[in-house]
Amino acid sequence: MEEETLYATSNPLYGGSLGKNINCWRSLSTCTAKLQESSVAKLQGIQSSQRRLLGSSAYELHRNDSFSKLSLEDIDYFKKILGEKSVIQDEDVLSTANVDWMRKYKGSSQLLLKPRNTNEVSKILKYCNSRYLAVVPQGGNTGLVGGSVPVFDEVIVSTSSMNNIIGFDNVSGILVCEAGCILEKLDSFLAEKGFMMPLDLGAKGSCQIGGNVSTNAGGLRFVRYGSLRGNVLGLEVVLPNGTIVDMLGTLRKDNTGYDLKQLFIGSEGSLGIITKVSILTPLRLSSINLAFLACNDYLSCQKLLLEAKTKLGEVLSAFEFLDCESMELVLSYLDGVRNPLPPSNFYVLIETTGSNESHDKEKLESFFLHSMERGILSDGVMAQDMNQASSFWQIREGIAEALMKAGAVYKYDLSLPIENLYKIVEEMRKRLGESAKVLGYGHLGDGNLHLNISTPVYDDTVFELIEPFVYEWTSKHRGSISAEHGLGLMKANEIHYSKSSEAVHLMASIKGLFDPNGIMNPYKFLPRSLLSQHKEDASLHGPEI
Ligand X SMILES: Cc1cc2nc3c(=O)[nH]c(=O)nc-3n(C[C@H](O)[C@H](O)[C@H](O)COP(=O)(O)OP(=O)(O)OC[C@H]3O[C@@H](n4cnc5c(N)ncnc54)[C@H](O)[C@@H]3O)c2cc1C
> Measured from the CB of residue 518, what is the shortest distance to ligand X in angstroms?
15
Whether residue 468 is preceded by a cis peptide bond, meaning omega within 30 degrees of 0, is yes
Q: Which residue's CB is nearer to a second copy, number 86 or number 129?
A: 129
- Judged by CB under 6 A, the stretch of 138-146, 305-313, 347-355, 492-500 that binds ligand X is 138-146
107 touches ligand X (CB under 6 A): no
Among 269, 343, 456, 516, binds ligand X (CB under 6 A): 269
322 with 347: CB under 8 angstroms? yes
Q: Which residues contact 515 (CB under 8 A, 6 or more apart)?
A: 239, 240, 270, 271, 272
Q: Which residue's CB is nearer to ligand X, number 218 or number 240?
A: 218
**Site mask, ligand X, residues 373-402, x = CB under 6 A?**
---------------------------x--
212 touches ligand X (CB under 6 A): yes
> Measured from the CB of residue 439, what is the shortest distance to a second copy in angstroms?
19
Q: Which residue's CB is nearer to ligand X, number 29 or number 394?
A: 394
- Please state, in angstroms and rounded to a whole number, the distance separating the CA atoms of residues 434 and 425: 14
Instruction: Choose among a second copy, ligand X, none what residue 331 binds, the Cβ cut-off being 5 to 8 Å by kind.
Output: none
* Residues 148-177, interacting with ligand X (CB under 6 A): 148, 159
> Measured from the CB of residue 271, what is the shortest distance to a second copy in angstroms?
8
- Please state, in angstroms and rounded to a whole number, the distance separating the CA atoms of residues 520 and 528: 13
- Please state, in angstroms and rounded to a whole number, the distance separating the CA atoms of residues 377 and 373: 8
Tell me the CA distances in angstroms from 284 to 188, 281, 353, 477, one per residue in order: 11, 9, 8, 38
* Residues 8-27, interacting with ligand X (CB under 6 A): none
**Site mask, ligand X, residues 472-491, x = CB under 6 A?**
------------xx--x---
Closest listed residue to residue 167, CA positions, set 248, 113, 246: 248
* Residues 62-91, interacting with ligand X (CB under 6 A): none
> Measured from the CB of residue 5, what is the shortest distance to ligand X in angstroms?
26
With 0-12 CB in 10 A as exposed, 13-18 as middle and 19+ as buried, what is 215? buried
Please, where are the H alpha helices in 208-318? 209-214, 222-225, 228-231, 261-264, 298-311
> Measured from the CB of residue 177, what is the shortest distance to ligand X in angstroms?
12
- Encoded amino acid at 67, one letter: F
Q: Which residues contact 464 (CB under 8 A, 6 or more apart)?
A: none
Instruction: Choose among a second copy, ligand X, none what residue 273 binds, the Cβ cut-off being 5 to 8 Å by kind.
Output: ligand X
Q: Which residue's CB is nearer to a second copy, number 208 or number 302?
A: 302
- According to DSSP, the residues that pair with 177 across neighbouring strands are 165, 277
> Measured from the CB of residue 213, what is the shortest distance to a second copy in angstroms?
12
178 with 163: CB under 8 angstroms? yes
Closest listed residue to residue 412, CA positions, set 366, 449, 374, 464: 449
> Measured from the CB of residue 175, what is the shortest distance to a second copy in angstroms?
14
Q: Which residue's CB is nearer to ligand X, number 218 or number 242?
A: 218
Closest listed residue to residue 266, CA positions, set 483, 107, 452, 447: 483
> Measured from the CB of residue 135, what is the shortest distance to ligand X in angstroms?
9
Closest listed residue to residue 87, CA positions, set 121, 115, 119, 128: 115
Instruction: Choose among ligand X, a second copy, none what residue 35 binds, the Cβ cut-off being 5 to 8 Å by kind.
Output: none
Taking the CB of residue 381, how many other CB atoms lie within 10 A of it? 20
Instruction: Choose among a second copy, ligand X, none what residue 531 binds, the Cβ cut-off being 5 to 8 Å by kind.
Output: none
Q: Which residue's CB is nearer to ligand X, number 266 or number 343?
A: 266
For residue 131, give the H/E element and its range.
helix 118-131
- Find the length of the chain: 545
Among 156, 203, 372, 409, binds ligand X (CB under 6 A): 203
Q: Which residue's CB is nearer to ligand X, number 259 or number 472?
A: 259
449 touches ligand X (CB under 6 A): no
- Encoded amino acid at 262, one letter: Q
> Measured from the CB of residue 484, what is the shortest distance to a second copy in angstroms?
5
142 touches ligand X (CB under 6 A): yes
Q: Which residue's CB is nearer to ligand X, number 108 or number 286?
A: 108
- Please state, in angstroms and rounded to a whole number, the distance separating the CA atoms of residues 243 and 236: 11
- Please state, in angstroms and rounded to a whole number, the distance separating the CA atoms of residues 143 and 149: 9
- Site for ligand X, rule CB under 6 A: 101, 136-144, 147-148, 159, 179, 201-203, 207-208, 210-212, 214-215, 217-219, 268-269, 273-274, 400, 484-485, 488, 521
